[in-house]
Structure formats: C-alpha cells, structure tokens
Structure 1
Amino acid sequence: MPTVGVIGLGSMGMGIALSALRAGLPVRGFDVAPDRVEAFVAAGGQGGSLDAAGDLDIAVLVTVTAAQARDVLFGAGGLAAALPAGALVIACPTMSPDDARDLAVRAGEAGLLYLDAPISGGAAKATEGALTVMASGAGAAFAAAEPVLDAVAETVFRLGDAPGAAAAMKVVNQHLAGIHIASAAEAVVFGITQGIDPAKTLEVISRCAGTSWMFENRVPHIVAGDYAPLSAVDIFVKDLGIVLEAAGAAGFSPALAETAAAAFRAAQAEGLGREDDAAVAKVFARQAGVALPGAG
C-alpha cells in the first residue's frame, strides 16, 4: 500500500487527505500552517517536514498556485530532492497548460512520475471522496495514482498521456465557474432592484432554467450574509487571470470572462479578496445602491 503525502491542507487538501486516510492509505499531511497539520494528526493522520519525505510513494500537491507547487517541488529543501526515484507527483492546482508541462518535464528530469490532475467539486466533495478529477499523464503515472484516485474521486476523466491537457480543461471549467458566480451575484442584486427578496430569488431560480450549480451553491452565502471563505475572491482573480492569459495566447478574446474578471478585481480592490467569492455581489450591490442581507 503506497504511502501518500498531501501537501497543502486547506479546505480541498484536508478533504483529500481525510478521504485517503479513510480509504486505509497511510497519509502524511504537510502545510505551512501548523494548526492544519495538528488538525490532521488529531484526525488520525501523520505530520512531517518536506525534507524528510523520502518514504513517500505519492505526493499530492494541493497548493493554490503553480508557483507554490514549483517551490514545493524544486525550491530550497524541495520535495523533488527528497522523494525516491520513481515516486509519483499528483499536481492538483489550477494552472496554465504551459506551467503543467514545465513541472512535468522538471519532475521527469528528477526521476519522478507526474500526473496533471486538477480537481473540481469543492470542499464538501473532497471530504466525501467524491471529487471530479481531470487528469493527463503517462500510463505509468495513472497506474501509480490509482489508489489515491479511487479514494478521493467519484469521476476521473482521462484526458490523454500528455501533461497540460488536464490543466487546459480545468481552465475551461474555471472560465465557466467564474462567469457563473459573477452572473449569479449580479442576478441576485438585479432582483433586489426589482423588489425581490434574495431568498425568494434563490427559491425560484433554483427550480428554473436560469439556474446553475454555482447559483445554487453560492447564492445561499449571499442570502445568509455569510462570506466566510470556502473559495475566496482572490482565487477567481487568479483563475480568471489564467483564463485570460491562455485565451490571449490563442488569439481569442473571451468577453464574458473579461467582464467577470473585472468584477472580481473590483471586489479585491475593495478589500474583499479573502472573503468568499460570493462577495463579488457586494460590488454589484454598491453599484446598484442596494443593501444585501446582513449588511449594515
């Protein structure tokens, strides 16, 4: 049974680590925040330091950015130098296809297998072991990853043997996700301008053709006036930035993504970057001169 290390114990990483642990895998958790490691150890896992990770067979990177993943692997005291030859790196961050390909090449040069494996489903699905994984990489990487994928994923899309293909699909997903969150928030504020209580908008639109997964998931945050970050505004500033960069490189101008990105950047500029991404509604509410639930 492979020994698994999960690097990054945020809402998604903690769920992945707990799901792997529940599946019977020996799991070690790593995070820059000691309290997260302590919480994982209290749940029955193990902690440790990256420079003493020579016993890991699989390293699952659940960092926020490609730069963080690169630093974890190849920075001072990086994981790549500690892992045994033939160990597998499963990289889950949303990143550009170019970044995924670069990390895969460098991992290969270090004698490691690499699976490009961005994830979708949110913290609840991570904890349930029911994520959707978009994955691409060599057959040997898929074979080595099977125990982890079985533990954490409900659906695994195999998108080819070349790293970067899965990253590209995740960028398409984030294109839609960012637009859907911004449009849901805008629609709630529009409803307020028409005299409709946000709770009623949620109740009705959730049963109509205008709904979306993001509408049904994020609008309850707005209705409750609860912006504790499950996925922060800062994340979608980053992710839609990746969308726009990739689109620009392809000579494509995604007008809807550009509009959504501008709304998230405005929320960030208003000091809302660390609030839940549903807080983009506050930008629209300010523009419309209306009050959201819990404001005041």
Structure 2
Amino acid sequence: MKVGVIGLGSMGMGAALSCLRAGLAVTGCDPREAARAEFAAAGGHAVASAAELPQGTEAVVVLVVNAAQAEAALFGSEVCAARLAPGAVVVCSATMAPDDARRLAAMAGARGLLYLDAPVSGGAAKAREGAMTVMASGPPAAFAAAGPVLDAIATRVWRLGEAPGIGATVKVVHQLLAGVHIAVAAEAMALGIRAGADPRTLYEVVTSAAGNSWMFENRMARVLAGDDAPRSAVDIFVKDLGLVTEMARALDFPVPLAAQAQQLFAAARALGQGGKDDGFVIRVWQALTGIKLPGDDRRR
C-alpha cells in the first residue's frame, strides 16, 4: 500500500516509521531537511512538498499543526489531492475545530476521496511504538481503506460515528484535560519548590500517590532533568486550549479552568518559551517568584 505521511514532527515521524515497519510503502513529507534526512536514514522515502508524493498514493496521514496547514497540504498550492489514487483515503490527524474537520471532509468528498476525521493521542514515544490512540469518525468505507495504516500506527482505534467532526470534538475535549493537567502539574511542582520541598522527592511522592496524573509523571520528569526539547510545545497548547474556548463559546458553555490554563501557556510564550516543551510552562511561576528549577544548572 502506498502511503504518504505529511508532517514529520514528533507524532508524524513516529507514524511514518510505524507504517514503514508494517511493510507499507511510505513517503514522508516535511519541509525541514533534518526531518527528511532522519526518515530517509530509517529506510523511508522523503520529500519536501506534498506535491511530490508519488502518483497513485492510496492513503495519506496528515499530522500537521492545524487546519490551515492541513488544508494547504491537501488542497492548496501543494495539491496533494491531485497525487492520490481515485477513492484514496485521507486520515486527517491534525487537531482542529469540528467545523474545520467537516469542511475538509466536504472538500475531500467533492474530489472523490474518502476522509477520516482522526485525531491522535499518545505522545512521541507511543507514536514511534505504533501504539497511539486514534479517535476517529467517518464512513465505514474510509475505515476499511485506512485499515492497514490504522493497524500500523495505533493500538486503539475509537470508531465514534460516521459524521466528520465527532473525532475533532472528542480531541478538543481531550485537550482541555491535557492542557489543564500540564498547567496544574507545573503549578504544584513550582509551589513545592517555593515552599522548600525537594523537587525530586516531591515527584516520587506524587507519582506514588492518588494525586498523580500521566501528565505530572511525564512532564515533571522532564522539568527535573532540565530537558525542555519540545515533544509537544507550549505553542501547541496556546492553540489547542484556544480551540477549547472557541468551541465552548459557540455552545454558551463556561470553561474557566481551560481559559486560565490557556493564559498560562500564553504567558510562557510571551516569556519566549513558545517553542519549548509544554511542561516548561513552569517558567511562568519561575519568572513570577524567582524559584530555581532543578535543571537550571545543566542548561548553563
């Protein structure tokens, strides 16, 4: 099966490598030379533009930042859609508003393409293991066509319905939880440091007790190590929590915790941390209170 993966970031690279391991004929697409070189070194074929995907590609996985990038890659000047085989399936895994998912699905359908509204979760490590969770909606034909790809990249595929937009809705709700969990994990760690608790001991206590969360365990481990290389960046949660507040506003639904968390991520971006790992939203509290983070000495 000829598969294209558009976007070789932390999740897209993992998806592309997982498809490659599954024996699919994979072309990875990314404008960054380093990303293309990494995928090529693993035995894949890499191109800089979606317009360079092999003619007759049967499935394309879109793992870019937002709806605008997805639309540009699929239907804009890069004309990926023109490279796809008749009846090919688009597995659109970018996090976006439900209305955008419905709009892109309509554009795909008008071109005779199948479309899965299929956001993913699991992080970079799960992506490279082929163990992501996919929260997807679309017609049965799209699920069937995407079967080899879904089998390669995920251990759990949620079939949420046939209508596009359902997958995006579930992902936006998921990102409310993810963003708030990261923000409160950073707040708790920062408070402990300010109060004089040993941060490593605090981490061990929390991760062995009822107050733990996956985000605390994962993100605060990076804070302890001073490892701010982005697996998921601060900027991502400025965007994703914005999707939460926009969806809630349209529904006349209050989301005060999501709104506060978004402001914390926005503050981190204003401090120049937008490209850093999202757990380093903790630097907002560092800027406000002068606390020393465990990895500060390592970064000098």
Could you say which TM-score interval applies, normalised by the shorter chain? Answer: over 0.9
1:51-130 matched pairs, under 5 angstroms: 51-53=51-53, 54-130=55-131
Instruction: Tell me if the contact between 1:116 and 1:164 (Cα under 8 Å) persists in the aligned partners.
Output: yes
Measured against aligned partners, the alpha-carbon deviations of 1:43-99 in whole angstroms (never above 9, x if no partner) come to 111123422432200010010111000000111131112222211100001101001
Instruction: Tell me if the contact between 1:189 and 1:288 (Cα under 8 Å) persists in the aligned partners.
Output: no
Measured against aligned partners, the alpha-carbon deviations of 1:4-24 in whole angstroms (never above 9, x if no partner) come to 110101111010000011011
Partner of 2:20 in structure 1?
21
Measured against aligned partners, the alpha-carbon deviations of 1:192-216 in whole angstroms (never above 9, x if no partner) come to 1221111111100001111101000
Identify the range of structure 1 (280-289 vs 145-154) with the bigger mean alpha-carbon deviation. Answer: 280-289
* Separation in 1, partners of 2:121, 2:185: 19
1:1-296 matched pairs, under 5 angstroms: 2-48=1-47, 49-53=49-53, 54-295=55-296
TM-score by length of 1: 0.97
* Separation in 1, partners of 2:82, 2:193: 56
Instruction: Tell me if the contact between 1:91 and 1:114 (Cα under 8 Å) persists in the aligned partners.
Output: yes
* Separation in 2, partners of 1:42, 1:15: 14
Measured against aligned partners, the alpha-carbon deviations of 1:164-203 in whole angstroms (never above 9, x if no partner) come to 0010000011000000000000000111122111111110
* Separation in 2, partners of 1:222, 1:197: 13
* Separation in 1, partners of 2:64, 2:184: 27
Residue 285 of structure 1: how far off its partner (Å): 2.1
SS in 2 for 1:208: coil
* Separation in 2, partners of 1:99, 1:109: 15
Instruction: Tell me if the contact between 1:232 and 1:277 (Cα under 8 Å) persists in the aligned partners.
Output: yes
Residue 148 of structure 1: how far off its partner (Å): 0.6
* Separation in 1, partners of 2:30, 2:78: 14
Instruction: Say what the alpha-carbon RMSD is for the aligned residues.
Output: 1.0
Identify the range of structure 1 (198-207 vs 48-57) with the bigger mean alpha-carbon deviation. Answer: 48-57
SS in 2 for 1:290: coil
Amino acid at match of 1:44: G
* Separation in 1, partners of 2:171, 2:294: 32
Residue 32 of structure 1: how far off its partner (Å): 0.9
Instruction: Tell me if the contact between 2:72 and 2:78 (Cα under 8 Å) persists in the aligned partners.
Output: no
Residue 35 of structure 1: how far off its partner (Å): 2.1
SS in 1 for 2:99: helix
Amino acid at match of 2:64: T
User: What percentage of residue pairs aligned between the two structures are identical?
Assistant: 57
Instruction: Tell me if the contact between 1:16 and 1:152 (Cα under 8 Å) persists in the aligned partners.
Output: yes
* Separation in 2, partners of 1:278, 1:61: 25
Amino acid at match of 1:88: V
Any unmatched runs of 5+ in structure 2?
none
Residue 37 of structure 1: how far off its partner (Å): 1.4
* Separation in 2, partners of 1:31, 1:194: 45
SS in 2 for 1:134: strand
Any unmatched runs of 5+ in structure 1?
none
* Separation in 2, partners of 1:163, 1:270: 37
Residue 258 of structure 1: how far off its partner (Å): 0.7
Amino acid at match of 2:206: I
* Separation in 1, partners of 2:50, 2:267: 37
